[in-house]
Structures are given as C-alpha cells and as structure tokens.
Amino acid sequence: MCGITGWIDWTQDLTKQSAVLEKMTETLAPRGPDASGTWITAHCALGHRRLSVIDPENGAQPMIRSEGDNNYVVVYNGELYNALELKRELESRGHRFATTCDTEVLLVAYIEWGPAALERFNGIFAFAVWDAARQRLFAARDRLGVKPFFYTRSDGLFLFGSEPKAILAHPSFKPEVGPEGLAEIFIIGPARTPGQGVYRGLTELRAGQCLTVDRSGVSVRTYWKLESRPHEQSLEDTAAKVKELLQDTVERQLVSDVPVCTLLSGGLDSSALTSLAVDYYNRNGQGRIDTYSVDYVDNDRHFQAHAFQPNADAPWIKRMNGHLGTRHHNIEFDTPELTAALDEAVLARDLPGMADVDASLYLFCREIKKGATVAISGEAADEIFGGYPWFHREESLQASTFPWALASGMRADLISADIAAWIKPLEYIEARYAEAIAEVPRLPGEDEGQRRMREMSYLNITRFMPTLLDRKDRMSMAVGLEVRVPFCDHRLVDYVFNIPWEIKTAGDREKGILRRALQGVLPDDVLTRKKSPYPKTHNPNYLEAVRRRLLHVLDDSSSPLLPLINTKKVREIAESESAKSNIPWFGQLMSGPQLFAYLTQVDTWLRRYNVSVR
C-alpha cells in the first residue's frame, strides 16, 4: 500500500511549486516508508510514497507510460488481486510489461479500456491517472471504499490525497470546520457520512465512485453500487457458493513478495481466514504462517461478560493456535501505553476517532510491523452477514435512526446550547438517516420484515463498515503495515447482500450461513462460538486515567473544546458512577471510558490542527 497526493491548477505554472508538492507528499511518509516520488508539469503535480509489497525492485511511482505521442502518469494506492489475469489479457492485446507489479497492470488497463477498466478490477484501490494529451485527470476509489481518497476544489484548483493531512499541507487549504463538520464530530462520529471530509470544503470520494478533472470542471459518477436481486439458490448451494468465494478471495490476497500474517482473535471470522490461509500455505509448501493477537494487562482479572462482549478471546486463540499450528504472537498493552497512543491515533486519522479502540490498533499494528509487512484481517463479516447485536434486537430494528447510535439524545445533551442551536444535532442525524434509507435498493415483493432486514444490511455496509475500514486503514498505514480484508471482496458482498435473512440466519444463529459454509474448515466449538468484538481493556485503571485526562481538559480555561460542550453535564458524568457503564453510545465497544477518551481526542484535534470553528 502507499500514499498518494496531487494537485491540478489551471491558473498557474506548477513547475514553480515543487516545494509545496514535496511537503504534501512527505505528510504521507508513514503510509509509504520505502520510497518517495514526485512528478510535475505546468498544470499537474503528483506525489507518491511507496510501501513495497509486489516487485520491490521495480514499480516506482509516479509511473509514466508512453503510448505514441501521449504520456499517461499514475499514482496508485492499493492492490489488484486479479492482476495476473488482467496482464495476460492485455498481453494478448499487444501490450508489453517492464515489471511484475500491479501498478503497471492498472495503468495499462486504463490506457486500453479507459474508465471501463474499473469494471474489470478485483481489489482495493485509490488511484489517479493524468492523461497528458487530453489534459485530464481520472481518479477512482474501490467499490467498498477500503482505500481512501479525499479532495477539495475551488476556482480552477483541485487537490487530492490519501489522507486529509496531505491537503492540509497546501497553503490554500485552511483547517476550518462549520456546522456540518461539528455535527459529524458530535452526533455522527466516530463514523462519518459518506463523502463528508469534516473540514470545510473537504470531500471524500465515496466507495464505488470515480471522477474526472479537466478545464471544464470536476465530474463525479458512481460506477458500482449494491443492487437488489432475487436469490433462488437453496441453503446448501448458498453455503457452497459462500465458501467458494471466500476461499478464492483469501488465496488471491495471500500473494505477496514480503511476509504475510493473519490477525487471530479466535472468533469465527479471523479463525476462518487463518484456517484458509494455513491450508493454502500447506498446499503450496510455504511453511508456517504467523498469527497475531492483542490483549491488555490484567484483562483476565477484570473482564466481565455482558451482552455486547459475551466472552474473552484468550482461550479461543489458544484453541485455534493449537489446532492450526501457527507461529503465534500475543501482544499485550497496559493503560499508560493506551492513553499515550490516543494522541497518535488522532494524528493518524486527522480527526478524533474510536478512542482506545483506535489507539490499541495503532499499537498492535506497530508491533506486527516488526515481523510482517502484510496482514489478513476479518473486517466486514458482521456487516455483510448480519452478526452485530443490533441485527437481532427489536429496539434496534424498530429505531428510526442508525442502530449503532441509539444514544443520540444523550450525546446531544453534551453539546453546548449555542453550538446545539447552530448545528441542530438531532435534526442532522435524522436527515442523514433518511438519506441512507432513501438509497436502499428495493426488491419488489418483499414483506415488511424482509424489507427491514435489507435496510439493515444496507445501512451496515454503507454507513457502519466504513468506520471500521477507516480505522484499519489509518492505524495500520500510520506504521507502514498493509492490511487486507477478504470479506470486502465485492463479489462476496454483492452475493451475500441478496441472500434472504432466513438463509443468512440458518440454524437460528447470527451469521448462520457463514457457519454452514465453514463446516469442515473450523472445529465445531469455534464454529458455534458466540460473537465477541475486537477486545478492549477492562482494567479500571484505564477508566480512571481517561477520567483524569478529561477533567484536566475541563479545568483548562484555554481548551478549545470547552465552548463546544456542556461542561457542567460532561463533568457530572465524569464524576459519577455512570462512567462505569458498559452500555455503548456508539457501536459495541464505546461506552463510559471511551466517551471520556473521545472528548479528549476532540480537544487534541482542535489544538494540534489549530482548527477554526466558523
């Protein structure tokens, strides 16, 4: 994976602005620690930071390809998992290749097919191609939005980057936030509305979208989206198809010229991916695979099962490690490390995020990077197969809001009266929810229950899943670790989206069809294990540490957070017993301690980025 940035400007000669381009590119150095490159002409400037995974000796970017009198230049972040098939087809059409890297395949595919090449790609990507003859930039983002692409435009100027920090490094872009940005932070966050960049004037290209920039302006279109179709296969045929797609996806994503590992929690999803990876390694004589898990000091003493986290991972990790014979590495963190990493997580996201859930992943990835460059992870299985608790609870199914954000009223009460009157938080989230529901592709003939479950699937794939993909991308790439997510293969997502709910929950279990598909792949006890999310610390020391951290902010009259929040209400919560609550205000993991940590992250963000609210 890599970091990309660029600059189109029709009003000046960019060859005189190389220092600015270098500065924009350098902000992405953690994403690409292995190499750096820039390319600049009068009206187009492109920058790239490289993390070498395929063909490390070649594939430097920006990559230039000449066809006749025309030059095409690409900057690319991602991985094409069908690069070999595409390369063979392109060779049959007369193209020749100088490298074995997928960057060249992507560029030649664009030269051959233009924007229609997107329909042929299987992978995760964000890229931009400059067509010199036509003076046109074409950019695209993968179908599920695994790889990021932010941009801003104004008066003949277009800037883009893998992360906001690249655009923030340009002197014309100011770190300002208006009412919509504040609403995103205080009522939607740590999620973001698709396309919302939070900073004023910053947009994120949505999953499955592409854009063109030329002298006439910027045009954006959607090239892929979820579609509803009748599902006519039997339960057994459906399970067989799910297994076939998942196995093919995992095997494609194990291709690498650098070490690959898997993240193993002992749960259904990570155990399935690890089992398929071990089988592939065994069949191809590639030796033992490395697995990694994360835990926290004294979690074995302090863990208490509850509805959102029913069991601990440690015994199940040991079970799967013994079953598969992997080379396992257990990484453990303590409270001081977690609290210190809250700031690092903000700098990785350029925004406040999932508090210690982000911070622990950042630390985890940093440790993994010492032994591997590529990791396989189980994100997205719960969204596409319906594994989260809110798929199965009446209060969530009946709610007229995002089911992972049922505490909007409580959150709105934490905002200062003046700011609340300005941003209208409850109206804002209501409007964003209505937009999401209006997008759902309907299938004629569905009854009310089937219709609602289709809505729930769509909401989770398009609104909740991006939060976790953002988290995984930013925290892993902040330390130069590439994480691949097989459950985000668009073929699998498209297929599972149309499996009827009664088949998805086969055996009257959450993710029942996935469990059926994995029979014979996993031991029976692992196959039937109750879902438990990514582990967080249960150490009371962490609650006390983030409580003190927040109270310190509240006592600091210079804090930029104070005018934005109801300080009296926040202080009451911080000093009350309700701080110990396990009831989440966002997702499954963000409860009392995470609320305190999130607010301190907002304070850190406002200070470090010198954010203006206007």
Q: What does residue 223 show for φ and ψ, rounded to 5 degrees?
A: -100, -10
- This prediction has a pTM of 0.95
pLDDT digits (tens, 9 = 90+) for 94-153: 999 999 999 999 999 999 999 999 999 999 999 999 999 999 999 999 999 999 999 999
Collapsing DSSP to helix, strand or coil, 6 comes out as strand
Q: Which residues pair with 151 in a beta bridge?
A: 160, 203
Measure the CA–CA gap between 206 and 151, rounded to whole angstroms: 11
Residues 6+ apart with CB under 8 A from 524: none
Asked if residue 476 lies in contact with residue 375, where contact means CB atoms within 8 angstroms, the answer is yes
CA 481 vs CA 75, 200, 465, 473: distances in Å: 19, 30, 20, 9
Q: Is 613 helix (H, G, I), strand (E, B) or coil?
A: strand
Per-residue pLDDT, 311 = 59
Can you say whether the dihedral through the CA atoms of 145, 148, 149, 152 is positive or negative? positive
* Radius of gyration for the alpha carbons in the chain, expressed in angstroms and rounded: 24
Question: Among residues 359, 358, 363, 367, which one has the least CA distance to residue 290?
Answer: 367
Alpha helices in 76-154 (DSSP H): 83-92, 102-113
pLDDT of residue 306: 47
Task: Verify whether residue 261 is a known catalytic residue.
Answer: no
* CA pair distance 133, 230, nearest whole angstrom: 45
Degrees to nearest 5, angle at CA 65 with 51 and 57: 35
**Torsion angle of C-alpha atoms 498, 503, 504, 507, degrees rounded to 10:** 180
Question: Angle at CA 46, nearest 5°, toward 42 and 50?
Answer: 155
Cis amide leading into 230 (omega within 30): no
If DSSP states are collapsed to H, E and C, what string results for 385-397? HCCCHHHCCHHHH
DSSP state of 119: G
Round to whole Å and give the CA distance between 588 and 591.
8
Considering the candidates 2, 44, 261, 488, report the single residue annotated as catalytic.
Answer: 2
Residue type for position 243: K
Q: Give DSSP secondary structure letters for 429-491.
A: HHHHHHHHHHHPPP-TT--HHHHHHHHHHHHIIIIIHHHHHHHHHHHHHTTT-EEE-GGG-HH
Strands 290-296 and 260-263: parallel
- Those residues of the chain that have pLDDT short of 50 are 306
Closest Cα to residue 149, out of 169, 170, 166? 166
Predicted confidence (pLDDT) per residue in 58-104, tens digit: 568 999 999 888 999 999 999 999 999 999 999 999 999 999 999 99
